[in-house]
Each structure stands twice: as C-alpha cells, then as structure tokens.
Structure 1
Amino acid sequence: MDPLSALDIAAAVAQLVQFGGSLVSKSQQLYRHGALLDHIECGNATRRLIELTNGVRSSWRELERLGDLSPDAKALEIICCVCVKLSGELLSRLEKVQLDEKNTSRKWKSFRQALKAVCMKDGVDSLARRIADCREELNSHLIASIRKKAGALLLRQDEVISSLNAYASKSIAALLETRTLIREDLLNHRDHIFRKSTENASSTQSSTLLAISEAQTIEVEMVQNLHFTMIDDRHDAIPEAHRQTFRWIFDETRKEGCPWSNFREWLRTGSGLYWINGKAGSGKSTLMRYIFNNAKTRQQLNYWAGESSLDISGFFFWNSGSPIQRSQAGLLKSLLFQALQQQPNLVRVVFPEEWAMYSSSTVNHTKIRDHLYSLSTLQKAFKRWIVLLPSSSKVCFFIDGLDEYDGDHEEIAEFFKGLSSRTSNVKLCVSSRPWVVFDDAFKGMPMLRLQDLTFDDIQAYVFDKLEGHDRMRLLKDAEPAHAAELVNEVVTKASGVFLWVTLVVKSLLNGLRNRDCIGDLRRRLSELPSDLDK
C-alpha cells in the first residue's frame, strides 16, 4: 500500500475516532443533564438576547404611538425582527437534541440525540454566527442612534439656555426701570411731605428755637451773676512756691520723724477732709496754691474718681481783701460759679425760684441779682447742688485760710466737716492756723503740720538766694566756716516760718549789696525779731 493511501486511511480512522469520542462525550452530557452544556449556555444567551430585543421593539412601539418613526428607527425595528427570528430558529434546533425526562430508554435516547447534535453542529454554528452578526449590527445601530439623540438634546439645551438668558435680561431691565420709577415717586413724595411739614412747622420751630435761646441766655446770665471781679485776686496774689520746694507733698513715703498723713495716698484713695495747718507765715497759702495748680493733683484724683467725671474747685479766703473775699457768701458764690460754669443746665434746679423770676418778663432783673447775693439763697443752692450731684461725678474742694474767714469759725468748720461726711463723692482739703476751734473740729482726720516738714525747703531757698549772689560767693571763699554758720543760723531761726525767712533773706541781700562782711550780716540777723508777731 502506497504511503498516500495509508495516510488517507489513518486520517479517516482519526476522524472516526474523534467523531466517536465526541459522540460518547455528548451522550454522557445528555444522559446526565438532559442537554449539552454548550447548547445550554448558547440557549440561555439566545433567550437573553430575545428579551432585550423585544424590550427595544416595545420602546419603539411606544414612540410610534406619538408619531411616525424616523428612518433610523424603522431600520432598527427590522434588525430586531431578524434577530428574534434567528434566535427562535436556533432555540428550536437546540430543543430537538434535548432528552425527554419521561423517556424510559434514556441511554439509547442519549446516544441518538448525541448523534443528531453532531450531525447538525455546522448548521447550529452557522445560525449562531448569523445571530452574533445581527447582534453586533443592532448594538452599532443603537450607539449611533443614541449619539445622534444626545447631539440633538445638547442643541436643544443650548437653545433653552439662550432663551432663558434673554428672558432674564429682559426681566432685570424691567425691574431696574421699575425701581427707578418707584425711587423717583418716593423722592417726590418725600419732598412734598417735607415742604408741607416745613410750612406747617416753621412758626412752631421758630418759637421753640427762640424759647431755647432765651432759656440758655438766662442760664448764662444767672451763672455770670455769681461771678465777682475779685474772685481770683487772692489766688493770684499768693507767691508761687520756690523751685524745688514742696515736692515732698506728692511723695509716696512721708518724711521720717514727722507724724503726718500721706497726702498723695489721700488724693488717690482717701475720703472726707484733709487738714493742712501751720503757724502764721509757714507757707500754707503757697502750698495750697502749689497743690491746686499742680497737674499731679488731678492725676492722683483721677485714680480716686475712676470712671466718674472729676471737678476740682477752690477758694482762698483773704482777711486783707474786700468783705466778699473773706465771707461765706463769697465762698459759696465762687464754688457755685465754678461748678455751674461746667453745667449751666443745672441752674434752673439749683436756683428754682430765681429761675422762675428770671423767666418772668415782669420782674426786674436787678432785683433778682440782689436776691442771688443773699447768704440764705446761696446756702440753699449749694445744698441742692450737692444733693443733685450724680453718682457718676466726683468733686474735690481746696479751701485756703479758714482762719481768715470773717465770721464764726466754729460754724464754718462744722459746715465743711458736715459737707465732707454727707457723700462719698465729695472730699475737701482745707488749711488754717492750728487754732483750738479747728483742732477740735478736725480731730482724728488726716492732717499735716507744715512747719515740721519745711526745713529742707527753707534750706534750699536760703542757699539759692544767698549763695547765688556774687558778694556771698566771695565771702564764702574768704571765710567758708563763718559763711556756712550764717546760712545754718538763718534756717534754724526760721522754725519753719517761710515768711520770716523771706524777710530775713531780703535784709541780708541788702547788706551784701552794701558790701557788708560776714560779721555785719550776722549782726543784721541778730537785730531782726525772731517772731513775726514782735
């Protein structure tokens, strides 16, 4: 046998064996499962394809009810029909090779069905490929339709947005125009109301302004009537403190060996009355002026006032001045003038009767001024002012020279003592000679005795006045010991009396101008009385 014939026989045997093996395998699958596994998978996929295809056809039928279908839609429907038809044909063929579960000769039937499946394999595969091709065409057509529909929707969306923008622009323009019209109407209405109100209220407003102006004029006039021409004469006549003197009054610690109440602490946190006393000529008035004018006083009192407003007023009695300068009436007029000058609106409540008289055009203002000067009226007004003093205001009075008051000293002492204890918003610093009447009235209150505290001040004053003179510098160079003794003798003899020192220094300076030697100056000092009362 030639090789080619042998090869043909071998190939035929291989095909027979392959066919037989496939047939046996398929017979076993049919026997166990009732259908071939690949047929089961193919059938399931085909049924799913039919369901999807029918769903697409149903959707198109819904659209068809709304109107004629487009050419694309009709083509898609045809593809769906073909796909369903082919799928049905494939399922029919697959069912022919399935076993009937009621058949008793299951093995023989499995073999026969397997043989049939092998024989019809090519037809089934061809039909499956046609269905796959149909499915691919269906998918491509759907994608193209969806893309086309999406483009149409985007175009429609752009048209809708453009339409909305145009409508919004028109609406905004209309609103702006309406707002302008409403604003113009409101402005016109306001102007109309304003003109009417102005016309109706012009006479009333004029009357009100005139009444206010007249009231303010009366307030100013009544305050000015409290002023008198010599109100500041005593203060201005007091000599200013010599440089570098009285600075200790604002020290935080008091001088050693001298019992006195710390004045700085009293200004900051104290209350009631502080009494400065000293011998005649010790410099009480000069110290009071120094305190009253010093910015440190207000600085320390501001700590006491806190958030409250602070008013500082003062009066300096003067027994060598006019009667009003040494009287209680002058004191009260001065204090009320300083207070009401800051708050003239209080005039009508501090002087209610006088205000009513002033407001009456039938009363002579000269008679009212005379009435304002009376002591009883001033006393009542001062008490009203203290009562009306709000809790948000604090006042500190500085009253100098109670001993120079031309009246009952016990009465004036009790007046200030009562004033200091009436309210915590008022406190006073007063000065006087250390008379018994004042010592009894102010016993136990903060105080200082001036002549005990001014030794250093007097020494500084004498050194500055004498050693500043050219003649004294020459004498000091020639007789340094005697020159120092002269200065120390002046300071010691002064005994805290500043006025005596100023008179002695003045006499010694005259001696220096006359070319006196140290001996002449010491004789001049010994001839001067050591007490101002002599």
Structure 2
Amino acid sequence: MDPLSALSVASGVIQIVDFSAKVISRTREIYLSADGALEENSFLEDATANLSELSTELTEEIRQTVWGFRSKGSGFGRKSADEQLIQLAKDSRMVATNLLEKLDRVKRKKDGGKRNALNQGIRSILEQKEVSGLADRLDQIRKQVDTALLLSLRKRIGEIPELRKETTSALEYEKKAELLASLQDNDWKPTQKGEMVEFSNSLILAVDMDVEQRFFNMILARLYFSDLPDRYEAIPKAHQNTCEWIFEDDPQQIESCEWDSFTKWLSGTDGDNLYWIAGKPGSGKSTLMKYLFNDSRTSAQLQTWAAGRPLIQAGFFFWNSGTVMQMSRMGLLRSILHSSLSNDKKTVMQIFNHRWQKFVAFGGGRQTFTWSELVQAFEALIAPSETPKTFFFVVDGLDEFDGDHKELVHLFLNAAEYPHVKACVASRPWLVFADSFEDRPCLLLERLTKKDIHHYVTSAFNNNKHYTRLSKLEPERASTLINGIADKAAGVFLWVHLVVLSLLEGLSNADRMSDLLARLEVLPPGLESLFDRLLSGLDPIYFKHACQLFRLVMARDRPLLLELWFADNEDHDSAMEAEIKTLSPDEVMDRLETMNRRLISRCKCFLEVESWHEDPSVGLSTHSYVRFIHRTAKDFLQSSDMWKTILNATGHDAFDPERHWANGFMGILKAVNTTSDAKWENFIWCIEYALMLENKLQSSFVDYLDEVSRAGMKNCEDYRTSKYVKRVGFDTIRRPPALQSFLDFAVWFNLVGYVRVKAKTASRDELLHATQFKGILWREQIEESWLAGKVMLTKAGFITDRSALKQVLSNSLQSKSSELRKEKWEKTKRRFFLKKVDASNTTSQETPKV
C-alpha cells in the first residue's frame, strides 16, 4: 500500500473510532440528564448522518485499496502490515454499522419527540452488554492502528519523496506531508514510548486535516444547487465583433455623456464602486454581462485597482423563467458564496465557525441555510480582514428577482461602500433602479449597439448564398436594407434577430431585394407588435399546435427536446399501451429532428433549442433543451388577452398538459436507453405527474402507476436498489430492505392513494413487507436531496401525511388478520373433522378424527 493510501485508510479508521466513542459517551450523558435540556433530537440526527458518512467513505477507501493490491498482483493471504490496517478498517466499519443500527432504533422509538420515549430508547441501548463490547473494541482498534500504519509506512519509505509534492500542493495535506517526511530518516525507530507518542500526535494532526476537508466539502455542497450554472450557460454568446466597444472607449461618445467609461471604472480608485448597465427588454444586457464577466480584459483592468491584492470574481444571473433558486435572494447569495469560497478553506472555517463547532462535536452544522445566515456570511466575506482581498461581483437581471428589489439595491450599494469591493449590475431601466443608481457610473445599452446590430445583420445575410447574389446585383439596395434594419431596431437585438429570420425565410422563397425591403416596411417596430404579427401569420392548424406546445413548455420550464417529443402526442394515453422496447440511436435522432422542425415551423421562434439555434453544427442530442427565445416572448404569451387566445385555441381543459407530460415520461421510461441517473429521474417524474393528476382530478391513477412499475422493473434497475435515495445531500438515511414490489415503493414514498387501493387485494405478507418501508423517507430529509434538485416532490403532495398512510396500513393489516384467522379456522376444521363443517350450523354432530 502506498503511503498516501495508508494514511487515508488510517485517517478514516481513527475518525470512526473517535467519533463512535464520543457518541457512546453522549448517549450516557443524555440518559443521566435529569432536566432533558440537552438537544437530543439534533444530536441523534447529526450523529447518525456523520457516522453514516464516515462509514461510507471508509468503505470506498477499503474498496480502492484492496483493488489496488489485487491489480498489482500483491499477495493477499499473509498478515502483512497493510492487511492488518485493512482489517482494522473493516472492524471499525463493522462497529460503526452496529452503532448506527442502535441509533436508528432510538430514533424510531422517539417518534413524536417525546422525552420519555427517547429515554426508553437510550436505556434500551445502554443496558445491552454489547455496547460495552463496542467500546472495548474501539479502544483496541485505536491502540493498534498507529502501529499498523507505522509498519506499513516504514516498508515503503522510498516512495515518500515522489508523493511529497503531490501531497502538499494538489491534495493540500500539509500535515500528512510532515508526517511522511518525519519517517525519511532510516535510522529512526519507534523504540521508545515518547517517540511513538510523537508519531501518534503527528497522525492526529493529519486526521484533523481530513476532518477540516470534510467540513469544507460539506459547506460547499450546502451552498451549491443543481441548476446554479444553467442560466449562465443558456445566455447566448456575443456575436463575433460585437460588444468590443465596452473595452474600447469612444471619446466622442463619452464626451457627449452617452456612457461612463467601463474600463476607467474597472481600474479606478475614486470610490465609485458600482456600475449600472440599463437597457430595454431584448437589448442584449445578459449577453453583454456574460461577455464582460468572461473577458480577460476585465480582470486585467481590475488588477490595477486591486494593486497586488488577491482578486475574487463571482457572478449571478437572475432568471425569472427558471427555478425558485434562479430567481431568489437565496440563490444569489449561495451562488456568490460558493464561487468566492471554492478554493478558500480557511475563510470557510472562519465565517461558518458556528457550524464548524457543531461539526466537530457530533457531525452537526448540516441544517439548511437561512437568509440571515447567508447575509452574515456575505458581510463577513467582504469585511476588511488581516489578509486583504478584493472582490468583483457581476449580477445580471435585477428586475427578474422575485422579491423586493430595494433589498437587492441596498445589499450591493452597502457592499460597494467598501473600497475593496466592486459590483457591476444590470437591469431594465425601472424607477426603483434609476432612483437608486442615478449618481453611479452607468450606460443605456440601446444607445450603444447600432454598430453591433450592423455587424450582426451583415454577417447573417452574407452567410446566405441568395442574399450574396442579390447584393452583388443591387449593392445600394442591399446597404439600404441593412441600415433600415439597424435604424428600425432602436437598439433591441431580439427584434433584429426575429426580423433577420423572417427575411431569410423570404430569401429561401427566392424573394427579390424589393420584396425584402417591402417585408421590412410592413414589420412593426417594437417587440410586442412583432410577436403579434408573427403569430397572426401562422396557418390556423399550425396555430393550434403552437398553442399546445406553448402550454406544454409553460407547464414544464426548459424540458429536454426528446421529452417534448414524447409529450407532444395527440393521444395522451398512448404510452400506456406502448410496448417496452428501447429505441435505436437512429430512431432517437429521427424524433429529435422531427421535434425541432415542428418548433421551427409552428412556433415562429417563440420556442427554440438551446445551442442548436446559435450553432446548428453542434447538432441535436438527448441533452438538447427547449426554451423560450427570451423572457419577453414568455411575458407576451402570458399576457391576459394572449393567454385567453391560447386557451381557446386548445380547448381549455380538453388539452391537459400534465396528462401529456405523464404520458411523455411513461414513453421515455419504456423506450429510451439512457444513464442510470436519467432512468431513475424519469421513473420519479412519472410518479410526480400521476400525483399531480390525482390531486387535480381527485381520482387515483392506479393503472398508470402499475404500468410505471412494470416499465421500471424492466428498464430501471435502480428501481430495486434505490441507490439515489440512500444518500440525501450530505446526509445518509437508513437503507431500506430490498424492494419486492411497487407497493413497497409506494409505502416508502407515502403514496397513500395507491396504497389504499392496492391494499385491498394484497396479501398480508405483502403488506407486512411493505410496512418495513414506512417512515424511512421524511420531508425534511429530502428537501435538499439529489431528487429535490430534479423533481418538484411537494407540488402535488409527493410526501403526503404520514398519519394517513399509517391509518391505511393499520386498517388493512387488521382486515387481513381477520381474514387470516378465518382461513386458519377453516383449515383447522378441515383437518380435525372428517367432513367440512358449516360454521353456521350449530347442531352439527360430526365425529372428530382420532
């Protein structure tokens, strides 16, 4: 075993041993406490989560180490020092597993949070002799691990120089490096007790580094959310040769007060530390913000202002068409803190010290962040410190925030009061922002983009062979067309984009230059008028289909293109009868291309496929998402009059988007071969939509869920292993027994309606097996899980009332018990009497068997 692996295994063993000893000590303390003032509930939750996490990590270390032995052909039959270390690791893991089972029993006995129940649970543990055995075994393991590790390291002393650099720089285990270096003197041997103590102390320091790293990783995981990068990635990149002006100050424009120099602001030290970029809807604010956030010239100019101090850059792009986190203040600060702290363990330990103390004690500090805590962390991050840093924050779409806009304004104005903090923010020119930022450096985007629009239009037309031919024949009219578009756009890039697409469609019909100019003349200025014109020009049949697609995407923001193909089916029950058969790659691509063509022909650019629209050469894939072209397009469709038109076109309730999505995900589950993650996610979405419909229609979709079960058992192997629900965020919940049927799963996820119906025909044994899953998964345990990032879970009551499920199971089991007693009595009579006795005939005189 190489030294680094040996240290990792030993560190894992020591952490489990020390923590398990603390847990046993604390349970005694709880039991002896007379007033019950200790936080027993949080202790049990924290201890269970931490112990499970330690056990899981050590299991992985053992697996990798044993695999390394075997891959190198090492003998694994003799009791070498390495094998002793591995055996100690397995022993400690076994102790942890045993202790976890006991803690789990306590948690179940304390259901309802009653003090007496908790004490009874603790008593049941402490009175068992095996607990003393666990404590003794922990003590033995702790004594043996130092010696086993030392012997393992001494055998491979020559490998240390090669590992030292990697250990200190890449893995940042400085204490481990020091420990390894202390063994490089071949004459040193731990012959004296003091020398062994010195080695043990060095090992403890190395273990402490591991604990700090685990806490650091936990905090970053708590700050991160699954869709954090989605909005940034969805913003179109700036077109070639556009946005350059932001770094190339035009003296004439600056002198005429068109805008305040951005480059001078970046490098300036005059105290004006907030810059406001304002612009009309569709003027390209987000594209510009993404451009300047990424451009190396931004960092170069900031270095002048930073004056040699470390520079930390972080950004957030609000998105009111996205998830709750993408449009909330919580998402803003979690994103900024995550970006700012990703490579700064020391600062994390400082600003989250209150959590660190709980983590060191019993693995606590895992609770969900509150707004006040995030604000305090942000203020602590940017506050002046002994090690000065500079901060540059980019925040786009202040107007897309779903709360009080003044709150955001004050947050960044206060931050910008520090001389070492700069913030560049963007929004529509609403009064709340105009009043707050009136004395700050700023620019109004639509006044500065005419040249960019000219570049964009010229490039788009020059890539069309029909236009190239026409422009050579009529160069003056070609120039008039481009200038006319730029003038009529009034700085709104989205309007230009839609108009260019319309004119290119005319070119495909062999329009003349005069036809193109006539098209431009009749196209109205302003986005809303243009949107109305585009939709009114659709064929009536296409318009109905377009409205159905609008409703589908409204009901499920940013679906995958393949998901939309399955949902866009005239028969919303088609997947129920479909065969369980995996589509070939060619068949999948055919469906992707078909759906993309439908969007282009029906939706007139209101809906588009991300990335493909910007660069069709990228191609379509199962990872292609569908989105509204812009927030303004979605706002237009959701306006009162337009939404009435859409509902009328689709027959109101006659078209049910949830029913179509339920059908769509059933189709995907049956037909698409994808990753385990995606299969499990599709499986869960089927259940979610079934619950939405049950909640809306007050009718249980038992047949649908039965078919989901059948497809899941065949196509989704993780339906049985349930590996994605075993770990919830950084916490670990009790692993359930093996799933035997969908009834087990229904009890596990508290699907009361389904259980109520199926319990009537299920056997008592099936019900008893399913009852084992009751209470494994609670709402508070899944709020920040992998599933919560993917599935709504609680929108339709995914985690329903526990008492309702308990009552259903109780009533069903009582009923089954009655039936079982009756059945046993009939069997007894048949065995005991020569003839079958009619239980209603009390005068029967049958002769018993002898």
Q: Is the 8 A contact 2:281 2:428 kept in 1?
A: yes
Q: Given the superposition, is the C-alpha separation of residues 528 and 292 from structure 1 closer, same or farther in structure 2, using an over 3 Å criterion?
A: same
SS at match of 2:527: coil
* Alignment partner of 1:377 out of 373, 380, 383: 373
Once the two structures are TM-superposed, the CA of residue 255 in structure 1 deviates from its matched residue by 4.6
Distance 2:252 2:226 in 1: 40
SS of residue paired to 1:342:
coil
Distance in 2 of aligned mates of 1:253 and 1:193: 74
Aligned to 2:412: 416
Instruction: Give the deviation of 1:403 after TM superposition.
Output: 0.7
Q: State the match for 1:435 in structure 2.
A: 430
Question: Quick one: higher RCO (CA 8 Å, sep 6+), 1 or 2?
Answer: 1
Q: What letter matches 1:313 in structure 2?
A: A
Q: Which residue of 1 aligns with 2:262?
A: 263
Call closer, same or farther: CA 1:244–1:195 in 2, change over 3 Å: farther
Please give the TM-score of this superposition, normalised by the length of structure 1: 0.61
Tell me the residue number matched to 1:338. 339
Q: Secondary structure at the match of 1:239?
A: coil
Map 1:312-331 → 2, pairs under 5 A: 312-331=313-332
Q: Which residue of 2 aligns with 1:227?
A: 224
> Which residue pairs with 2:520 in the alignment?
525
Whole-angstrom distance in 2 between the partners of 1:194 and 1:520: 97
Question: Compared with structure 1, are the counterparts of its residues 194 and 524 closer, same or farther at alpha carbon in structure 2 (3 Å cutoff)?
Answer: farther
Q: Go from structure 1 to structure 2 and tell me whether the alpha carbon gap of 1:457 and 1:424 turns closer, same or farther (over 3 Å shift).
A: same
Retained in 2: the 8 A contact 1:347–1:355?
no
Instruction: Find the counterpart in structure 1 of residue 287 from structure 2.
Output: 286
Cα 1:253–1:530 shift into 2, 3 Å: closer
Give distance in 2, aligned partners of 1:263 and 1:299.
13
Preserved CA contact (<8 Å) 1:258 1:452: no
Q: 1:390 to 1:511 in 2, by over 3 A?
A: farther
The SS at the match of 1:360 is helix
Taking the aligned partners of 2:188 and 2:290, their CA distance within structure 1 comes to 61
> Which residue pairs with 1:113 in the alignment?
none
Task: Report the CA distance between 1:223 and its aligned residue.
Answer: 1.5
Q: Distance in 1 between matches of 2:429 and 2:521?
A: 28
| Identity score, percent | 39
1:301 aligns with 2:297: no
Report deviation, 1:252.
4.1
Structure 1 CA distance, aligned partners of 2:197 and 2:360? 27
Contact 2:395 2:423 in 1 (8 A): yes
Q: Does 1:490 align with 2:485?
A: yes
- Distance, in Å, in 1 between the alignment partners of 2:361 and 2:196 is 30
Q: Tell me how far apart the structure 2 counterparts of residues 194 and 478 of structure 1 sit (CA, whole Å).
A: 96
* Cα deviation, residue 208, structure 1: 2.8
- Residue 513 (structure 1) aligns with: 508
Please report how far the alpha carbon of residue 369 of structure 1 lies from its aligned counterpart in structure 2 after TM superposition: 3.8
Q: Which amino acid aligns with 2:322?
A: G
Q: CA deviation at 1:471?
A: 0.8
1:250 match: 247
The residue matched to 2:316 in structure 1 has which SS? strand
Q: 1:479 Cα deviation (Å)?
A: 2.7
1:350–1:385 Cα contact (<8 Å) kept: yes
Checking the alignment, whether the CA contact within 8 Å between 2:280 and 2:492 is kept in structure 1 is: yes
C-alpha change, 1:224 and 1:255, in structure 2 (3 Å) is farther
1:193, distance to aligned residue in structure 2 (A)? 8.8
Q: C-alpha separation between the residues in 1 aligned to 2:454 and 2:422? A: 33
Equivalent position amino acid for 2:298 in 1: T
Determine if the alignment matches structure 1 residue 398 to structure 2 residue 394.
yes
| Gap change, CA 1:348 and 1:388, over 3 Å in 2 | farther
Cα gap change, 1:353/1:214 in structure 2, threshold over 3 Å: closer, same or farther?
same
Determine the C-alpha separation between the residues in 1 that align with 2:300 and 2:252. 22
Answer yes or no: is the 8 Å Cα contact 2:311–2:391 preserved in 1: yes
**Contact 2:382–2:391 at 8 Å: present in 1 too?**
no
Q: Could you tell which deviates more after superposition, 209-218 or 354-363?
A: 354-363
How far apart are 1:194 and its partner, in Å? 8.6
Bigger radius of gyration: 1
Distance 1:201 1:462 in 2: 73
> Aligned AA for 2:199?
S
CA distance in 1, matches of 2:509, 2:310: 57
Distance 1:525 1:295, change over 3 A: same
Higher mean C-alpha displacement, 317-326 vs 477-486: 477-486
1:275 is matched by which residue type in structure 2? W
Q: Which runs of 5+ in 2 are unaligned?
A: 1-184, 530-850
Counterpart Cα distance in 1 of 2:404 and 2:219:
29
| Partner AA of 1:289 in structure 2 | K
Amino acid in structure 2 at the alignment position of 1:525: L
Matches within 5 A, 1:96-175: none
Secondary structure, counterpart of 2:311 in structure 1: strand
Q: Aligned-residue CA RMSD in angstroms?
A: 2.2
Residue 325 of structure 1: CA displacement?
0.5
**CA positional deviation for 1:258:** 5.0
TM-score by length of 2: 0.39
Q: Equivalent residue for 1:145?
A: none
Which amino acid in 2 is paired with 1:533? E
The question of whether the paired residues in 1 share the 8 Å contact of 2:190 and 2:196 is answered with no
Of 434, 444, 448, the residue aligned with 1:449 is 444
What is the CA–CA distance in structure 2 between the aligned matches of 1:311 and 1:268, rounded to whole Å? 15
Amino acid at match of 2:239: H
Which structure 2 residues correspond to residues 166-245 of structure 1 after superposition, within 5 A?
191=188, 197-245=194-242
Shift in CA distance, 390/230, structure 1 to aligned 2, threshold 3 Å: farther
Distance 1:511 1:195 in 2: 91
Query: For the residues of structure 2 that align with 1:359 and 1:513, how far apart are their CA atoms?
Result: 68
Looking at structure 2, the residues matched to 477 and 381 of structure 1 have their Cα atoms a distance apart, in angstroms, of 62
CA distance in 2, matches of 1:333, 1:342: 15
Gaps of 5+ in 1: 1-187
2:405 counterpart letter in structure 1: H
Amino acid at match of 2:476: A
1:275 aligns with 2:276: yes
* Separation (CA, whole Å) in 2 of partners of 1:192 and 1:471: 85
Task: Give the whole-Å Cα distance in 2 for the aligned partners of 1:326 and 1:531.
Answer: 26
Deviations 1:128-155 (A, max 9, x none): xxxxxxxxxxxxxxxxxxxxxxxxxxxx
Q: Is the 8 A contact 2:276 2:441 kept in 1?
A: yes
Deviation track 1:338-386 (CA, whole Å, cap 9, x = no partner) reads 11112122222212222222223264x6xx242x2x2122111111212
**Matched residue SS, 1:315:** strand
Q: What is the count of residue pairs matched by the alignment?
A: 341
Question: Retained in 2: the 8 A contact 1:254–1:262?
Answer: no
Question: Bigger shift: 257-266 or 203-212?
Answer: 203-212
Alpha-carbon distance in structure 2 between the residues aligned to 1:415 and 1:393:
19
Q: Aligned partners of 2:205 and 2:462: how far apart in 1?
A: 70
Given residue 456 of structure 1, which amino acid in structure 2 is its aligned partner?
A: K
1:259 counterpart letter in structure 2: E
Q: 1:500 — aligned with what?
A: 495
1:426 to 379, 398, 421: 421
Deviations 1:459-480 (A, max 9, x none): 1111111133211122123333
1:69 matched residue in structure 2? none
Query: CA separation in 2, counterparts of 1:497 and 1:403?
Result: 17
Structure 1 residue 483: Cα displacement: 2.2
Structure 1 position 395, deviation (Å): 0.8
CA distance in structure 1 between the partners assigned to 2:291 and 2:336 by the alignment: 19
